[in-house]
């Protein structure tokens, strides 16, 4: 089965307001709903999971009932753990509790605050994850990337042609990701905040899907202004 996993665990402190950024309005609907609808449209996804901070579970249920009532039965809300990977692990446990353990379960994980994911990205993730087990959606680095050890001077400038910016979706064979996550020590869990990084650390090949410069992550008030401009153009 194919599961979409919308990562909406952010508590939103960086935006300064009270509402986490995934609940702020974008073209008249909350960002998380805007994002969720992209996955609902796909047609190749069986069930939908939303990883969320317990404090916002009730609001999320209300938003689903208000905006996408016809799909509500297929949308499952799971309360998050202490960090992104812990939240993802809670979702994995919920999926296995609901639909059983299988080597043929795949999860397409996506940031709730990246509302401009396209059908092409979602479909490429689904195709590639069935072949390779782990997929990261990336764009070639637009700016030159520099490395600084001390934050004050340039330490190195890696070859730009090899550098990519990682976005989401990130997709995984569910069993593979679970086994890999469970193999981590507590120290490793504290450091490996990105699921693709877990795979790379364990020498599991991660295949690249094609992202887009428009697939921005809304993390600051300025991003929301930019997102509004993109949404109105779309």
Q: Which is nearer to a copy of itself, 77 or 124 (CB)?
A: 124
Decide if 134 contacts 202 (C-beta within 8 A): no
Q: Can you tell me whether residue 189 is helix, strand or coil?
A: helix
CB 215 to a copy of itself: min, Å: 10
Q: Is 120 in the site for a copy of itself (CB under 8 A)?
A: no
Among 17, 25, 82, 158, binds a copy of itself (CB under 8 A): 158
Among 40, 68, 79, 141, binds a copy of itself (CB under 8 A): 141
Q: Which is nearer to a copy of itself, 25 or 158 (CB)?
A: 158
Residue 151's region, left for phi above 0, alpha for psi from -120 to 50, else beta, is left
Q: Is 79 in the site for a copy of itself (CB under 8 A)?
A: no
Among 88, 91, 94, 196, binds a copy of itself (CB under 8 A): 196
Q: Is 223 in the site for a copy of itself (CB under 8 A)?
A: yes
- Based on C-alpha coordinates, what's the Rg of the chain? 18
CB 111 to a copy of itself: min, Å: 10
Residue range at the interface with a copy of itself (CB under 8 A); choices 22-30, 68-76, 118-126, 212-220: 212-220
Q: Which is nearer to a copy of itself, 94 or 192 (CB)?
A: 192
Q: What is the C-alpha to C-alpha distance for residues 134 and 128, in angstroms, rounded to an integer? A: 8
Token reading at 220: 């600051």
Cis, bond preceding 125 (omega within 30 deg of 0): no
Q: How far is C-alpha 164 from the chain's CA centre?
A: 17
Burial of 73 (0-12, 13-18, 19+ CB in 10 A): exposed
Q: DSSP class of residue 59?
A: H
Phi and psi at 6, nearest 5°, equal -90, 120
CB 156 to a copy of itself: min, Å: 7
Q: Is 184 in the site for a copy of itself (CB under 8 A)?
A: no
Q: What is the C-alpha to C-alpha distance for residues 199 and 182, in angstroms, rounded to an integer? A: 12
Q: Is 206 in the site for a copy of itself (CB under 8 A)?
A: yes
Q: Is 146 in the site for a copy of itself (CB under 8 A)?
A: yes
Residue range at the interface with a copy of itself (CB under 8 A); choices 41-49, 54-62, 92-100, 152-160: 152-160
β-sheet bridge partners, residue 49: 5, 76
β-sheet bridge partners, residue 110: 6
Q: Which is nearer to a copy of itself, 42 or 163 (CB)?
A: 163
Positions that interact with a copy of itself (CB under 8 A)? 136, 138, 141-149, 151-158, 162-167, 194, 196-197, 199-200, 205-208, 213-214, 217, 219-220, 222-223, 225-226, 228-230, 233
């Amino acid at each position: 089965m194919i599961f979409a996993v919308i990562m909406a665990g952010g508590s939103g402190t960086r935006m300064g307001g009270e509402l986490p950024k995934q609940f702020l309005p974008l073209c008249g609907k909350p960002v998380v709903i805007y994002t969720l609808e992209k996955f609902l449209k796909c047609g190749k996804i069986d069930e939908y999971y939303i990883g969320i901070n317990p404090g916002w579970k009730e609001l999320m249920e209300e938003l689903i009932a208000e905006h996408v009532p016809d799909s509500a039965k297929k949308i499952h809300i799971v309360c998050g753990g202490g960090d992104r990977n812990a939240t993802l692990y809670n979702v994995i446990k919920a999926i296995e509790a609901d639909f059983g353990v299988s080597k043929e379960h795949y999860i397409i994980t996506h940031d709730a605050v990246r509302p401009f994911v396209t059908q092409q990205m979602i479909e490429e993730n689904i195709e590639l994850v069935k072949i390779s087990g782990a997929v990261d959606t990336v764009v070639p680095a637009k700016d030159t990337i520099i490395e600084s050890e001390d934050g004050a001077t340039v330490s190195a400038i890696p070859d730009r042609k090899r550098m990519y910016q990682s976005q989401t979706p990130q997709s995984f064979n569910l069993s593979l990701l679970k086994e890999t996550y469970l193999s981590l020590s507590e120290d490793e869990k504290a450091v490996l905040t990105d699921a693709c990084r877990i795979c790379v650390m364990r020498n599991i090949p991660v295949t690249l899907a094609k992202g887009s410069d428009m697939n921005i992550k809304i993390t600051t008030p300025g991003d929301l202004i930019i997102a509004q401009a993109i949404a109105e153009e779309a």
